[in-house]
Amino acid sequence: MKKFSKLLVTVGLLTTLAACGSDESSISSTSAETTGKENWPEQLTLVQMPNENNPTEATTMHTALREHLTEELGVEVIEYDGASYAVGIEAMASGNLDIMLGSPMSYYQANKLAGAELLVTPTIPDGPEYYTAFITQGDNDEINSLADLKGENFAFVDAASSSGFLYPKATLVQEFDLDSELVEQSGYFFENVAFSGSHPNSLMGVVMGDYDAAAVAGSVIDMMAEAGQIKKEDVKVIGKTEKIPDASYIVRGDLPEDFKEAIRDAFVSFADESYFEALHEDPKARFVATEPDFYDPAIEMLGTINALEEVQE
């Protein structure tokens, strides 16, 4: 999430990938004698997320990771950038994409369609938990708990945002036994519901009095306060969601088992501090092998609000 959860794929490039059939150059059917592994493909294809803060530096840093993977695996690594989960999942299902960064929902869909498996998660040792904060103005004496939000003007971020919509919606549904189909409709629980388009917009909307309350990533409050855009006392946190898991790299399930293990080891062995400082804001961050049940609580939560789209296997 945070910086991990913005994704995926250059639509033109991966639409082409998704449409390509298997031929002699396909990564799904070609074996590479140069790797010393008869059943390993000659190429590994992955997509990277763009970095909104410094796209030029992100490109350079991703090159360092790609070169490391190439050296460790002995196969050519082809890398794409972009911004569509759906196209990436389609390409993976067609056997033309090996690795993508995924949210719980995109992993769920890719698992159903392509047998995708969790690979590694960028992790900061002892880093702060990522969660959504329910906020109101710092001097608002009438809103002091989630229950006080009933009948107020409220802002979510975007219907596709985990921290700006899905998690806070699920928290409210579970806390007050609400109809998950109606929460975002004005006049049901909230007097009026708005979608601000970004976490900073929601935060500033509360500070300026445009919204009585909002759901924003907790990290955004600290970030904007440190930048001098708000004062900490400008807002009051009246509740929080459960911890939101970071986005994880997922891998196509039908790749050879020893190859998938080698990919995981290659990610874990990558220790370029400049990469992690640039992309994850902490030189101590590393890729950590992801447990198979890592997303289970998140997927269960998404199910409670009917957020998981129907997937045809």
Which one, of 247, 269, 249, lies nearest residue 69 by Cα?
269
Q: Is residue 256 scored above 90 in pLDDT?
A: yes
Asked if 171 contacts 301 with a C-beta cutoff of 8 angstroms, the reply is no
pLDDT computed for residue 308 by the predictor = 79
Among all chains, which residue has been given the structure tokens 């796209």? 55
pLDDT computed for residue 55 by the predictor = 44
Higher pLDDT, 247 or 296: 296
Share of the chain above pLDDT 70, in %: 82
Share of the chain above pLDDT 90, in %: 60
The CATH architecture of the domain made up of 132-240 is 3-Layer(aba) Sandwich (3.40)
Sign of the dihedral defined by the CA atoms of residues 99, 104, 109, 115, in that order: positive
Q: What is the CATH number of domain 11-126+245-304?
A: 3.40.190.10
| Confidence band, pLDDT 50/70/90 cuts, at residue 120 | very high
In this prediction the pTM is 0.73
| Confidence band, pLDDT 50/70/90 cuts, at residue 171 | very high
pLDDT computed for residue 24 by the predictor = 38
> Which two tokens mark 58?
């992100």
Q: Is residue 31 scored above 60 in pLDDT?
A: no
Q: Rounded distance, CA 42 to CA 33, Å?
A: 8
Q: Is residue 7 scored above 60 in pLDDT?
A: no
* Highest-scoring range by mean pLDDT, 46-55, 108-117, 206-215, 296-305: 206-215
Q: Is residue 208 scored above 90 in pLDDT?
A: yes
Strand partners, 78: 45
pLDDT computed for residue 219 by the predictor = 86
> Which two tokens mark 4?
């991990």
pLDDT computed for residue 49 by the predictor = 59
The percent helix, strand, coil of the chain (3-state, each to 5) is 40, 20, 45
Asked if 205 contacts 198 with a C-beta cutoff of 8 angstroms, the reply is no
Cα dihedral: 31, 32, 38, 44 (round 10): -70
Asked if 307 contacts 106 with a C-beta cutoff of 8 angstroms, the reply is no
Overall average pLDDT of the 212-234 stretch? 93
Q: Is residue 193 scored above 50 in pLDDT?
A: yes
Q: Residue 91's Cα: distance from chain center in Å?
A: 18
Q: Is residue 207 scored above 80 in pLDDT?
A: yes
| Confidence band, pLDDT 50/70/90 cuts, at residue 285 | very high
pLDDT computed for residue 262 by the predictor = 97
Q: What are phi and psi of 209, to 5 degrees?
A: 90, 10
Which one, of 49, 69, 78, lies nearest residue 278 by Cα?
49
Higher pLDDT, 100 or 14: 100
Helix or strand run (H / E) with residue 136: strand 132-137
Locate CATH 3.40.190.10 in the chain: 11-126+245-304, 132-240
Q: What are phi and psi of 157, to 5 degrees?
A: -90, -65
Overall average pLDDT of the 60-70 stretch? 88
Give the three-class secondary structure for 217: strand
Q: Return the number of other C-beta atoms located less than 10 Å from residue 42's C-beta.
A: 17
Convert the pLDDT of each residue in 220-229 to its tens digit. 998 899 889 9
Which one, of 176, 188, 167, lies nearest residue 145 by Cα?
176
| Confidence band, pLDDT 50/70/90 cuts, at residue 19 | low
Q: Is residue 32 scored above 80 in pLDDT?
A: no
| Confidence band, pLDDT 50/70/90 cuts, at residue 102 | confident
Q: Is residue 209 scored above 90 in pLDDT?
A: yes
Q: What are phi and psi of 152, to 5 degrees?
A: -100, 170
Q: Is residue 17 scored above 80 in pLDDT?
A: no
> Which two tokens mark 47?
């997509």
Among all chains, which residue has been given the structure tokens 């609580």? 297
| Confidence band, pLDDT 50/70/90 cuts, at residue 28 | very low
pLDDT averaged over the chain?
84
pLDDT computed for residue 229 by the predictor = 94
pLDDT computed for residue 83 by the predictor = 58
pLDDT computed for residue 313 by the predictor = 53
Which one, of 296, 219, 173, lies nearest residue 5 by Cα?
219
